[in-house]
Amino acid sequence: MATYESDVCIIGGGITSAMLAQKLSELRPGLSVAVVEAGRSIFDVQNRGRYRERALAYGEHPWPDDFIEDQQANGIISMTMAVGGLALHWGGACNRFSEEDLRLRSMYGLAADWPIEWADLERFYCEAERRLNVAGEPSPHAQDRRSEPYPQRPIPLSYNLQLLKAWAEKSGVKFVGLPMARNLEPFGGRGSCCVYDTCGEVCPSGARYSPDFTFRQLIDPKKIVLHDRTLVRKLVLDDRKPTVVAAQGFHQDRPSDPVEYRAKTFVVASGYCWSSHLLLLSANTRFPNGLANSSGLVGRYMNGHKFINATANIDDQTFPGQNMTHSLISREYFRCPGDKPFVRHDTRVWESSAGRDPRLRAPDGKLLLGDELMADWRSRTKGSSVRLRAYVDVHPSADSRLTLDPAKKNRYGDPMPKIAHHFDEATLAREAATREHVLGVFQALVKSGGGRIVNTSEGDYLDHPGGGCRMGTDVASSVCDSFGRTHDHENLFVVGAPTTPTGGCTNGTLTFVALTLRSAGEIAREFPARG
């Protein structure tokens, strides 16, 4: 069996892993850090312009082979398994949660408090924003005060977004441009934004942060080693002590030749799905329910936020396609007065081309060509379509679970995970009132700004999922402490999304990164500074 030794072994190569590896290499130069990633490295920024062109021209998937055919789970939001993880394709929206997210139990008697003070987390939000080079503008709400300004000025609002901001603010609700990890000037070895407007698919200039850049910058000067295409299948404990001594797996090209990573500290940075999965798979005779699972909570309290959408037609004229990946956000409903029924959500506004694209057939099926096509198109470009969305704070029950699915196995015979989300009783009880409130906010926008809602819908999954290894101070009701150190194994950490007790009401990745950067300091403390 091939064996590799390091001080720290990080399992997973997504954004949290990249940030952790980068910070460890700064805090402890010379520390040996091995990152083990199941998927392949896609270090080809020079090709991304071409991928974008082909995606636009032929609808071609710009990321071939960014997944592993037999490593799939029921209930996941993305199949991506590659160096960079889901953040290869993310939009780069970088919103902070708010203090309420950390104090749901003490403020509202709901869900669970997080074992972190807001002021503590806020410092790491600043650090995360610096490392990701977030462009943003201060919130108009005093409660959103920041201890440091955004590292970049706000992304300039397109003409369309300026018009939509004026439209939406007639309701009295304040909006700002969405903060995003998008370079306005070259930064971190990446180019500046040229408004290609395909951030979610592929960013040809590298302006939208993606972790592959960070890994390249750490690998080339040998600050870390990265083993890609290597799936860790099991964490192995010392014969006597409850410490982890090895992570074992296989390289994709050598399925009958196991590989072992030995380290002083192990960090599971495998995202919201595969982190709990690996702990459950690592069950042994002393820990028959899986590692770090003496509370029985590994794989439980899987969270995320629900979303409610609407499309509005308004009379003001926009010109769709100016910057469709940028949007407006209001944090007005992040706070809920204690004497009002509980409801929390963000409110987002995008330009939209819905119903305004050219079409070859009229609604009655008649073929439209030449002048008829142009006349039909012109007749539908008056006024604007607006996309509205709210991410809603919903709370998981203990039965919101990731379990091992014996009916679905990978090539090594490991059961794959299955995720089924469930809400707690209080969330279910207020579901109708929450929907009514959010739709009421959308109605208020069209009532004051002008226009009408033409359709509404609700997401059928939870976005920015997390949970499964929730943090806490009580060992009986949590899997790890606030740094992600598991209660059962002192040299085993879980970082980022899996550790969150609840999922907030806005994009989660900035929070996952902030938590991970906080963990990095604690992990580094295990190793004396050299020289």
Contact 499, 484 (CB under 8 A): yes
CA dist 117 and 99 (Å) reads 8
Q: Is 145 helix (H, G, I), strand (E, B) or coil?
A: coil
Residues in the chain, total: 531
Among the listed ranges 167-175, 202-210, 380-388, 470-478, the one in contact with ligand SF4 (CB under 6 A) is: 202-210
C-beta closer to ligand SF4: residue 27 or 195: 195
> DSSP letter at 430?
T
| 426 CA to centre of own chain | 25
Contact 352, 162 (CB under 8 A): no
Q: State the residue for tokens 């959408």.
A: 309
Judged by CB under 6 A, does residue 161 bind ligand SF4? no
CA dihedral sign, ordered 75, 80, 85, 87: negative
CA dist 149 and 136 (Å) reads 9
Among 36, 82, 207, 524, binds ligand SF4 (CB under 6 A): 207
Among 156, 191, 200, 450, binds ligand FAD (CB under 6 A): 200
Size of the site for ligand SF4 (CB under 6 A): 13
| DSSP percent split of the chain into helix, strand, coil, nearest 5 | 25, 25, 50
Question: What residues form DSSP beta bridges with 363?
Answer: none
Judged by CB under 6 A, does residue 512 bind ligand FAD? yes
Judged by CB under 6 A, does residue 51 bind ligand SF4? no
CA dist 154 and 107 (Å) reads 32
Among 136, 290, 496, 501, binds ligand FAD (CB under 6 A): 496
Among 32, 133, 158, 198, binds ligand SF4 (CB under 6 A): 198
Among 8, 11, 33, 494, binds ligand FAD (CB under 6 A): 11
CA dist 153 and 177 (Å) reads 11
Judged by CB under 6 A, does residue 135 bind ligand FAD? no
Q: Smallest distance from the beta carbon of 85 to ligand FAD, in angstroms?
A: 2
Judged by CB under 6 A, does residue 509 bind ligand FAD? yes
Reference 519, options 13, 11, 6, 16; nearest CA is: 16
Size of the site for ligand FAD (CB under 6 A): 38
Among the listed ranges 60-68, 131-139, 193-201, 497-505, the one in contact with ligand SF4 (CB under 6 A) is: 193-201
Q: Smallest distance from the beta carbon of 206 to ligand FAD, in angstroms?
A: 16
C-beta closer to ligand FAD: residue 182 or 300: 182
Reference 442, options 341, 332, 316; nearest CA is: 332
> What residues contact residue 506 under an 8 Å CB cut-off, 6+ apart?
95, 96, 97, 305, 329, 331, 334, 346, 391
C-beta closer to ligand SF4: residue 162 or 448: 162
User: Which listed option, ligand FAD, ligand SF4, none, makes contact with residue 373 (CB within 5 to 8 Å by class)?
Assistant: none
Alpha-helical segments (H) within 245-353 = 271-281
Among the listed ranges 89-97, 303-311, 412-420, 469-477, the one in contact with ligand FAD (CB under 6 A) is: 89-97
Q: Within positions 163 to 192, which residues make up the interface with ligand SF4, using CB under 6 A? A: 182
Q: Within positions 254 to 273, which residues make up the interface with ligand FAD, using CB under 6 A? A: 269-271
User: Which listed option, ligand FAD, ligand SF4, none, makes contact with residue 19 (CB within 5 to 8 Å by class)?
Assistant: none
Judged by CB under 6 A, does residue 199 bind ligand SF4? yes
C-beta closer to ligand FAD: residue 73 or 475: 73
CA dist 184 and 182 (Å) reads 6
Q: State the residue for tokens 């070259």.
A: 186
CA dist 502 and 518 (Å) reads 18
Phi, psi of 118, rounded to the nearest 5 degrees: -60, -45
Task: Write the secondary structure of 384-414 as one string of H (helix), E (strand) and C (coil).
Answer: EEEEEEEEECCCECCCCEEEEEEEEECCCCC
Q: Smallest distance from the beta carbon of 186 to ligand SF4, in angstroms?
A: 12
CA dist 382 and 316 (Å) reads 8
Q: Smallest distance from the beta carbon of 208 to ligand FAD, in angstroms?
A: 9
CA dihedral sign, ordered 466, 471, 475, 480: positive
User: Which listed option, ligand FAD, ligand SF4, none, makes contact with residue 512 (CB within 5 to 8 Å by class)?
Assistant: ligand FAD
Q: Smallest distance from the beta carbon of 64 to ligand SF4, in angstroms?
A: 19
Among 9, 24, 31, 87, binds ligand FAD (CB under 6 A): 87
Site track for ligand SF4 across 303-342, x = CB under 6 A: ----------------------x-----------------
Q: Which residues would be at the binding site for ligand FAD (CB under 6 A)?
A: 11-17, 36-39, 77-78, 81-82, 85-87, 89-93, 200, 231-232, 269-271, 274, 278, 464, 496-497, 507-509, 512
Q: Which residues would be at the binding site for ligand SF4 (CB under 6 A)?
A: 182, 193-199, 203, 205, 207-208, 325
